[in-house]
């Protein structure tokens, strides 16, 4: 901050008084104590300032890392931006990435070309490095964020102020010192005069934390300041979330599994209640930065003719190594995003459904960053972006890899895959998704995902479990069955499944010699329970895996909830 101002406030005249020797000694000791308490802090305060390294002042506090003045431009450190302005600003191997609702801005160090949504833009000043810390020019900062950054030469400070918030204001009622700390023993920073205006950012005891119009900050006695009308925001903040337009009141999506070739749409029956279809068309290629494409324009034309929106599913192939290679590299992320957007435009898609599973836990922040870079550019193209997430668990690669709250902040929809309670390969037989378990998964996910963005993933399938005992060894295997196939299996065995009140599903168990069969069935009644959970928690809709596993009558259950 600025050196101590020598001007003194007027003092009342006092009669001179001769001190006896003992009083003189005590006074000397008090002066030494005052030197320790006051002069030393003042020395530290002044020494940390330098003309080329001004200190950042934000909301009345001096930030730990100073700014930089280079070629008459103010530079602000990356750690300040991330901590105080934008927690999602990303530093990635000499590339600074800033994402907004509709823009992705990439700035490379020492380069005068930035990229906004992958289009080049000329800069007057580049990002620079000071040691290991990137610094961003204030002129760039002010273009992206609702802030100002003003350099005060006399105070040797850079005052950073938000423009999208109300600011408390005060007027000094009488001459008084601005202090470094809330104490009369603290170092004097500046003389405040009657009528001086300050911005107020806090209170400690009987002191106000303030910023002055000359770039200083510190504390003023509360009774020396008269609070005046607050200053309104000069810029608008982030607009509230507006759900994308859909054919119906809610999302009801069904995934279309495509193994190499898209099914002939002329052979697909009526699906009343459906408003979104999501074919599994895109995936990360083995070649880094490339996207595998099996899309079919005929399918899109058919879907649109029926009033369905088409959200192309984009998968990582459940390959954590392939995923890491792409999402940890800024250039590969750009390449992949550019291809997905190109395909979306070429096939007239309405949205993208991201299905990245089995991702290294250590790559969670990079997965979030990939989504943050895809969504603004997709939104600019008019695309809805959704992402599938698993239920919350302690599995590093299958659950902890999702930063659900951060993802939900940028995505249009988060689809909770509330199935595979007992997945393929489980050593214990069990249902795909019980109703109580589904409800608990909804509750846990709502801790991080807003209900208006959350879509409940439901199964159209079940698993037939086979337990084979050989001596003391029990072998457990399973195979997926659609609803009709499960009913046919029951009919073939001549047995009937009974509703289990604990799971909400029909259940049957049959033993034939050394083999025991177990089956929990999905049907119209269990689907009604799932739709009721959607209604109970006010969710944005449901998504079903997958078309072809259902019975046609299941849509009669769904239709009243969606329209």
Rounded Cα distance, 203 and 189, in Å: 18
Beta bridge partners of 192: 176
- Taking only the tens place, the pLDDT of each residue in 395-447 is 999 999 999 999 999 999 999 999 999 999 999 999 999 999 999 999 999 99
Domain boundary pick from 115, 144, 161: 161
- Taking only the tens place, the pLDDT of each residue in 453-501 is 999 999 999 999 999 999 899 999 999 999 999 999 999 999 999 999 9
- Position 364 pLDDT exceeds 50: yes
Q: Are residues 183 and 303 in the same domain?
A: no
The reply to whether 44 falls in a domain is no
Q: Which residue in 548, 558, 543, 555 sits closest to 264, CA to CA?
A: 548
State the average pLDDT over residues 259-267: 94
Whether the Cβ atoms of residue 349 and residue 312 lie closer than 8 Å to each other: yes
pLDDT of residue 93: 85
Q: Are residues 140 and 176 in the same domain?
A: no
Q: What is the CATH number of the domain that holds 218?
A: 2.30.30.40
Q: Are residues 196 and 304 in the same domain?
A: no
pLDDT of residue 563: 61
Q: CA 514, 516, 519 angle in degrees (round to 5)? A: 165
Q: Are residues 403 and 256 in the same domain?
A: yes
Q: Are residues 151 and 188 in the same domain?
A: no
Whether the Cβ atoms of residue 320 and residue 360 lie closer than 8 Å to each other: yes
- Position 538 pLDDT exceeds 90: yes
The reply to whether 502 falls in a domain is no
Domain boundary pick from 175, 207, 233: 233
Rounded Cα distance, 495 and 333, in Å: 53
Domain boundary pick from 161, 176, 193: 161
Q: Are residues 181 and 143 in the same domain?
A: no
Q: How confident is the model at residue 356 (pLDDT cuts 50, 70, 90)?
A: very high
Whether the Cβ atoms of residue 192 and residue 177 lie closer than 8 Å to each other: yes
Task: Find the domain containing 149 and state its range.
Answer: 55-161
- Per-residue DSSP letter, 322: H
- Per-residue DSSP letter, 254: E
- Taking only the tens place, the pLDDT of each residue in 152-183 is 999 999 999 999 999 999 999 999 999 999 99
pLDDT of residue 13: 33
Q: Which residue in 169, 168, 171, 167 sits closest to 226, CA to CA?
A: 171
Q: Are residues 324 and 390 in the same domain?
A: yes
pLDDT of residue 241: 78
Q: Are residues 61 and 181 in the same domain?
A: no
Alpha helices in 168-239 (DSSP H): none
Q: Are residues 311 and 422 in the same domain?
A: yes
Task: Compute CA 201 distance to the chain's CA centroid, rounded to the nearest angstrom.
Answer: 27
Tell me which of 19-23, 477-481, 503-507 is least confident.
Answer: 19-23
State if pTM tops 0.85. Answer: yes
Q: Are residues 198 and 323 in the same domain?
A: no
Whether the Cβ atoms of residue 218 and residue 201 lie closer than 8 Å to each other: no
Q: How confident is the model at residue 330 (pLDDT cuts 50, 70, 90)?
A: very high
- Position 2 pLDDT exceeds 70: no
- Position 44 pLDDT exceeds 70: no
What's the structural domain count of the chain?
3
Instruction: Kindly report the backbone phi and psi dihedral angles of residue 153, in degrees, each rounded to the nearest multiple of 5, phi listed first.
Output: -65, -45
Q: Are residues 144 and 227 in the same domain?
A: no
State the average pLDDT over residues 141-157: 95
Rounded Cα distance, 93 and 213, in Å: 38
């Amino acid at each position: 901050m600025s050196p101590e101002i020598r001007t003194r406030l007027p003092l009342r005249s006092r009669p001179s008084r001769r001190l006896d020797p003992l009083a003189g000694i005590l006074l000397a000791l008090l002066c030494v104590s005052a030197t320790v308490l006051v002069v030393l802090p003042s020395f530290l305060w002044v020494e940390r300032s330098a003309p080329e390294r001004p200190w950042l002042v934000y909301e009345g506090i001096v930030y730990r890392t100073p700014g930089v003045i280079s070629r008459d431009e103010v530079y602000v450190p990356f750690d300040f931006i991330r901590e105080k302005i934008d927690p999602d600003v990303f530093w990635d191997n000499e590339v600074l990435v800033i994402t907004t609702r509709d823009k992705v801005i990439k700035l490379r160090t020492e380069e005068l070309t930035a990229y906004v949504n992958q289009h080049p833009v000329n800069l007057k000043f580049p990002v620079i490095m000071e040691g290991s810390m990137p610094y961003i020019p204030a002129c760039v900062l002010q273009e992206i964020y609702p802030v100002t950054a003003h350099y005060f030469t006399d105070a040797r400070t850079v005052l950073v102020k938000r423009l999208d918030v109300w600011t408390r204001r005060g007027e000094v009622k009488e001459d008084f010192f601005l202090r470094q700390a809330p104490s009369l023993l603290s170092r004097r920073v500046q003389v405040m005069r009657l009528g001086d205006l300050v911005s107020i950012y806090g209170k400690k005891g009987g002191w106000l934390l303030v910023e002055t119009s000359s770039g200083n900050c510190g504390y003023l006695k509360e009774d020396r300041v008269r609070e005046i009308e607050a200053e309104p925001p000069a810029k608008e903040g982030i607009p509230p979330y507006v759900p994308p337009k859909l054919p119906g009141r809610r999302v009801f999506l069904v995934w279309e599994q495509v193994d190499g070739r898209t099914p002939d749409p002329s052979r697909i029956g009526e699906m009343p209640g459906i408003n979104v279809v999501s074919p599994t068309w895109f995936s990360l290629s083995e070649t880094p930065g490339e996207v595998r494409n099996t899309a079919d324009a005929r399918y899109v034309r058919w879907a649109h003719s029926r009033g369905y929106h088409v959200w192309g599913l984009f998968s990582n192939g459940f390959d954590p190594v392939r995923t890491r290679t792409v999402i940890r590299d800024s250039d590969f992320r750009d390449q992949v995003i550019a291809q997905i957007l190109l395909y979306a435009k070429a096939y007239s898609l309405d949205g993208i459904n991201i299905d990245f599973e089995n991702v290294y836990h250590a790559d969670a922040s990079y997965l979030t960053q990939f989504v943050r870079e895809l969504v603004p550019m997709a939104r600019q193209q008019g695309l809805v972006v959704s992402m599938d997430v698993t239920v919350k668990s302690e599995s590093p690669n299958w659950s902890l890899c999702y930063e659900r709250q951060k993802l939900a902040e940028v995505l249009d929809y988060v689809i909770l895959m509330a199935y595979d309670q007992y997945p393929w390969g489980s050593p214990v037989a069990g249902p795909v998704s019980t109703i109580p378990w589904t409800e608990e998964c909804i509750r846990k996910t709502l801790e991080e995902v807003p209900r208006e963005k959350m879509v409940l993933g439901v199964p159209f399938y079940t698993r037939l479990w086979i337990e084979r005992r050989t001596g003391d060894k029990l072998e457990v295997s399973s195979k997926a069955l659609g609803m009709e196939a499960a009913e046919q299996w029951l009919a073939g065995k001549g047995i009937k499944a009974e509703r289990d009140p604990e799971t909400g599903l029909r259940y049957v168990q049959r033993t034939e010699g050394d083999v025991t069969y177990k089956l929990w069935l999905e049907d119209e009644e269990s689907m009604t329970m799932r739709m009721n959970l959607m209604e109970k928690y006010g969710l944005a809709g449901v998504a079903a895996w997958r078309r072809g596993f259902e019975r046609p009558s299941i849509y009669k259950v769904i239709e009243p909830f969606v329209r």
